[in-house]
Chain A
Amino acid sequence: MDGREGLRIAVRSVRAHKLRSALTVVGIVIGIASVITFATFGASVQAEIIGDIGDSNAGNIYVFGTPSDDEGFDRVLQPVFTESDLAAIGEIEGVTAVLPRGSVQVSSIRAANQTLARSQVTATTPESITPASTVSGRAFTSGEREVVVNERLATGFSENLTAGSTLTLTFPDGEEQPVTVTGVVNGTRGELPVSNFARQPRLFAPVDPFYEAVVESPSAGVRQRAYPQVTVVTDPRQTAETREAIEDYLAGDADARQLSASDTELVARSGSDFVDEISDVIERITRFVTGIGVISLVVGAIGIANVMLVSVTERTREIGIMKAVGARNRDVMSIFVIEAALLGTLGSLLGVPLGLLVGRGAAAYADVTFALAPDWIALAVVVGVVVGVVAGLYPAWRAARIDPIDALRHE
Chain B
Amino acid sequence: MSETAATATAAATEAGEAEPTVVVDEVSKHYTVGSRVTALDGVSLTLPTGSYTAIMGPSGSGKSSLLNLIGGLDTPSSGHVAVDGKSVSTASEDERAAIRGTDIGFVFQTFNLMPRLTAVENVALPLVFDGWSRADRIDRAVDRLEAVGLGDRTDHVPSELSGGQRQRVAIARALAPDPALILADEPTGNVDTDTGATVLDIFDELHAAGNTILLVTHERHVAERADRIVHITDGEIGSIEATGEA
Chain A residues with CB under 8 Å of chain B are 1-2, 4-5, 9, 12-13, 16, 317-318, 320-331, 404-405, 408
Contacts and interface: CB of A to CB of B under 8 A. Distances in A.
B131 interface: yes
A408 B130 CA distance: 21
A321 B129 contact: no
Contacts of A320: 112
Contacts of A326: 97-98, 100-102, 126, 129-130, 177
Contact of A2 (B73, B102, B116, B131): B131
Contact of A405 (B68, B102, B125, B134): B68
26 contacts: A1-B128, A1-B131, A2-B128, A2-B133, A4-B134, A5-B134, A9-B116, A9-B117, A16-B116, A318-B114, A321-B113, A322-B129, A323-B97, A324-B100, A324-B112, A325-B101, A326-B98, A326-B129, A326-B130, A328-B98, A329-B93, A329-B94, A331-B129, A405-B68, A405-B74, A408-B108
Contact of B129 (A4, A327, A405): A327
Nearest to A324: B106
Name which of A2, A4, A330 has the most chain B CB atoms within 10 A of its CB: A2
Contacts of B117: 9, 12
A198 to B, nearest CB: 57
B131 A323 contact: no
B228 interface: no
B98 A322 contact: no
B168 interface: no
Given A1-B128, A325-B106, 15 more contacts: A2-B131, A12-B116, A12-B117, A318-B114, A321-B112, A321-B113, A325-B101, A325-B173, A326-B102, A326-B126, A326-B129, A327-B97, A328-B98, A329-B93, A329-B97
A325 B108 contact: no
Given A1-B129, A322-B125, A405-B74, A328 B97 contact: yes
B16 interface: no
A5 B115 contact: no
Main secondary structure of the interface of A (DSSP, over half): helix
B73 A405 contact: yes
A327 B72 CA distance: 12
A317 B112 contact: yes
Q: Which 3 A-B pairs have the closest CB atoms?
A: A326-B101, A326-B129, A325-B126
Nearest to B99: A326
A323 B93 CA distance: 10
Interface in B51-105: 68, 71, 73-74, 93-94, 97-98, 100-102
A9 B116 CA distance: 8
Contacts of A12: 116-117
A1 B129 CA distance: 5
Contacts of B98: 326, 328
Contacts of A327: 97, 101, 129
Interface in B105-150: 106, 108, 112-117, 125-126, 128-131, 133-134
Nearest to B121: A8
A394 B177 CA distance: 32
Interface in B13-64: none
Nearest to B125: A325
A405 to B, nearest CB: 5
Nearest to A13: B116
A302 to B, nearest CB: 26
A334 to B, nearest CB: 11
Q: Taking each of B106, B116, B126, B173, which has the highest tally of chain A beta carbons within 10 Å of its own beta carbon?
A: B116
A238 B131 CA distance: 68
A320 B114 CA distance: 10
A408 B97 contact: no
A13 B115 CA distance: 10
A404 B133 CA distance: 25
A405 B113 CA distance: 15
Contacts of B100: 323-326
Nearest to B65: A405
A326 B134 CA distance: 16
Given A4-B134, A12-B117, A325 B73 contact: no
A322 B106 CA distance: 11
B199 to A, nearest CB: 19
Contacts of A321: 112-114, 125
A329 B68 CA distance: 18
